């Protein structure tokens, strides 16, 4: 069998990979929006675990659309444009519940 025939058979037998559709596979796709007070509470709880968050990660944790979370984050947090936390949202002190342990 010639190499051209082998290449043709390889391509013919190759199975197509299913395409990844982020909208349909993402768990917060088409979820109803929760009330702002409840979302604010969940975001405050998220600030308990980490001070700096990326927007898609935070939207995934609170199970709400990214645009809806961004709208509320503009009130509750500051967007960092300088290193080392470039591209992260940092909660403002009045909304931050981080535990600051005393150093010995």
pLDDT of residue 103: 47
Q: Give CA–CA dist 47/95, Å, rounded.
A: 8
The phi and psi torsions of 34 (rounded to 5 degrees) equal -80, 160
Contacts of 27 (CB under 8 A, 6+ apart): 60, 63
pLDDT of residue 15: 58
pTM exceeds cut of 0.85? no
pLDDT of residue 79: 92
The phi and psi torsions of 88 (rounded to 5 degrees) equal -105, 160
pLDDT of residue 14: 65
Which residues partner with 89 through β-bridges? Answer: 53, 79
Domains and CATH numbers, the chain: 35-95 (1.10.10.10)
Q: Which residues of the chain have pLDDT under 50?
A: 20, 22, 99, 101-104
Choose among 30, 94, 20, 21: nearest CA to 68: 30
Q: Give CA–CA dist 57/8, Å, rounded.
A: 44
pLDDT of residue 33: 84
Q: Give CA–CA dist 12/4, Å, rounded.
A: 12
């Amino acid at each position: 069998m010639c190499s051209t025939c082998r290449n043709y058979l390889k391509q013919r037998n190759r199975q197509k990979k299913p395409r990844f559709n982020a909208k349909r596979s993402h768990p917060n796709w088409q979820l109803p929006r929760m009330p702002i007070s409840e979302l604010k509470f969940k975001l405050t709880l998220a600030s308990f675990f980490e001070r700096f968050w990326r927007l898609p990660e935070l939207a995934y944790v609170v199970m709400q659309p990214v645009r809806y979370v961004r709208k509320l984050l503009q009130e509750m947090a500051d967007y960092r444009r300088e290193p080392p936390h470039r591209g992260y949202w940092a909660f403002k002190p009045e909304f931050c519940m981080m535990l600051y342990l005393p150093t010995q």
